[in-house]
Structure 1
Amino acid sequence: MTSTTVETSDARDCIGDGARDEEVAALLNGAVDLHCHSGPAAMPRILDHRDAMQDAEDAGFRALLYKDHFYLGTPHAKLLETIYPDLGVQLFSGLALNNASGGFNPHAVDHAIKMGAKIVWLPTLSAANHIRKAESEAKNFPKTAQKMLDPIPLRALDDAGAVKDEVKQVLDLIAEGDIILAGGHLHVSELFKVFEEAKARGVTKMIVNHPTYVIGCSDEDIRGLVAMGVKMEHSISMFVQGSGNNYDGEFLRHLIDVAGVENTCLCSDLGLRGSPRPIEGYRQIVRMLLDMQFSAKDIRTLIGDNSASLLNLAA
């Protein structure tokens, strides 16, 4: 596990805005976003999949992965790649195991993988943990544009605390497909058991989404999960201006130090109305990292290389 690399060049402190903008733009070239919330969606979005694709293309991103809480976005990604065959950015998506997909539904997961999905998120909006927190902290949770049916709480563990059989079947499919298992919005206490089971069943790509938001991870939890081979995916939306965030750069530095640069992915989690566009979020976070004296190498690892590896993109 390594800590953040620090550059101490006095010249860096004197970089003008124009030069800094160019430095940010250069670092964004080759970036990968595993958590783009574009539309169409039941949630109010500020951009659609084509807009997000074009922004990523213009910024020189290597890959973009669409996430929707209610549907498999892989056909959208494939269709856009067909319509725009000269794209420099690769488009991907996956499936969130919420009520709309049948929860822990092996048939839905099998179909998603056969369609080319690169990730399966364990329940997010339908997770019992999410529902419990949304009820107690309603003002802090985004809502759908129209009232949906009340969610049925989903848990990965049975009453005895063991991983459910249908979850095990989902894990087997993810292992066979060699795709990413994301923790969704399950509580950290569930995630430890699910990831242990996943590892035992051959899953090699695992991430925790925004571990300090909803999930409840402590520093000790993060270290324990990293020791199991799980990556930490921190949402840029929690740290950038204009998204209602409550976290500063020093907290982000701390989280990166806890897991190590090599075990951390910074992904946008942006697209909700009232927030910056995903690429603007990346510009802000790269500028923040530069201001905190992170090296160019570490920044590229955080915003691109680690995520590219999870997608099986060649180095």
Structure 2
Amino acid sequence: MDSESNRIKVRELVSGVDNGIVDALMQGAVDLHVHSGPSIMDRQVDHMQAVEQAAEAGIRGILFKDHHYSVAPVIPMMERVLGHLGVSMFGGLVLNNTTGGFNPYVVDSELNHGGKMIWMPTAQSANHIRSSFRKSRLAMNVQLKAPKLLTVLDDSGQVTDPVKEILDSIAKFDAVLSSGHLHVWEIWKLFEEAKTRGVKNLIVNHPMYGLHFTYDDIREIAEFGALIEQSACLYIDSRFNVFEPELLVEHIRAAGVENSSIGSDLGQVDNPTPVEGMRQAIKLCLASGLTEDEVRLLVRDNPSKLVGLPLPSSTAN
């Protein structure tokens, strides 16, 4: 089934979902995958607009992700201007060439600036470049220098010393380690090393898209302790749709709802906003048979725990 057929099917599936239920499930949600701007990639909302829209929808936390710089150092200024809206704001660093690659000094600075998540390479990971050599969805409106392919492993398949040093810093600051766009084999080696070094917070982003996971891989790495984040944009009425809508819940079930979360992975032009993407994902989950309590785990409780946000005093409706 092609993307346009998928998108039509999404619209049909979610048309009967009660918007009032969706509104309630948005209250307290946390989106750990927001691509707002400014950016050298085209964005439809800036960071401040993303916060304002999140607050209006009842979202209590968002994590900004840019593939080429960190938002973390400017969050204190945004908190001064927008803190009254009650949205917790988080930043982090993607270890692409444009941010220094596997440079422990850069990571140490980022974490001292309050960065919450360290992503392994995305657009400049060896796996991403090899997997998308004809076309990448990470298109930019500027021409960067040709990338150096990045991998966390040396020629013998062992985690490199600079990456080990980075893992030590992540553990020290109790930050979150994301798999980025590494290959599943690299991710397993990385996460095993991370756990031995005291990293407690692990997340895999969109495992079935570009990372070469199988269902068994998803189940096993969730059992190992990683949170499995599904990207809403890959399943909903979005120009990034690549999966039939019913696969969202199938992929969630592979890890278990208790080990899964949903991030919008949105903010690009000509796509739903991050807020609308989360709403569509919630509708799709409900239409596909998940209960309201299961959806709360996916969009509120599990991502909140990962970034250390306390749950509401009552976890009832």
What CA deviation, in whole Å up to 9, does each residue of 1:260-297 have, x standing for no partner?
Answer: 00110100100112211010111111111111221111
Q: 1:30 aligns with which of 24, 28, 31?
A: 28
Alignment of 1:199-238 (within 5 A): 199-238=195-234
Matched, 1:260 2:256: yes
**Paired residue for 1:3?**
none
Deviation at 1:304, TM superposition (A): 1.4
SS of corresponding position for 2:85: coil
**Paired residue for 1:279?**
275
SS of corresponding position for 1:249: coil
What fraction of aligned residue pairs are identical, expressed as a percent? 42
Gaps of 5+ in 2: 1-13, 312-317
**Structure 1: 4+ residue segments shifted above 4 A:** none
Matches of 1:250 and 1:193 in 2, distance apart? 31
**Paired residue for 1:180?**
176
- The answer (yes or no) to whether the contact 1:67–1:73 under 8 Å persists in 2 is yes
SS of corresponding position for 1:266: strand
TM-score by length of 2: 0.91
Q: 1:60 aligns with which of 58, 63, 72?
A: 58
Alignment of 1:189-208 (within 5 A): 189-208=185-204
SS of corresponding position for 1:95: strand
Matches of 1:71 and 1:244 in 2, distance apart? 23
**Paired residue for 1:77?**
75
Matched, 1:292 2:288: yes
SS of corresponding position for 2:246: helix
Matches of 1:168 and 1:187 in 2, distance apart? 18
Matched letter for residue 66 of structure 2: D
TM-score by length of 1: 0.92
Matches of 2:35 and 2:193 in 1, distance apart? 29
Deviation at 1:16, TM superposition (A): 9.1
Matches of 2:183 and 2:283 in 1, distance apart? 32
Matched letter for residue 198 of structure 1: A
Would you say how many aligned residue pairs link Structure 1 and Structure 2?
A: 298
Matches of 2:27 and 2:291 in 1, distance apart? 15
Gaps of 5+ in 1: 1-14
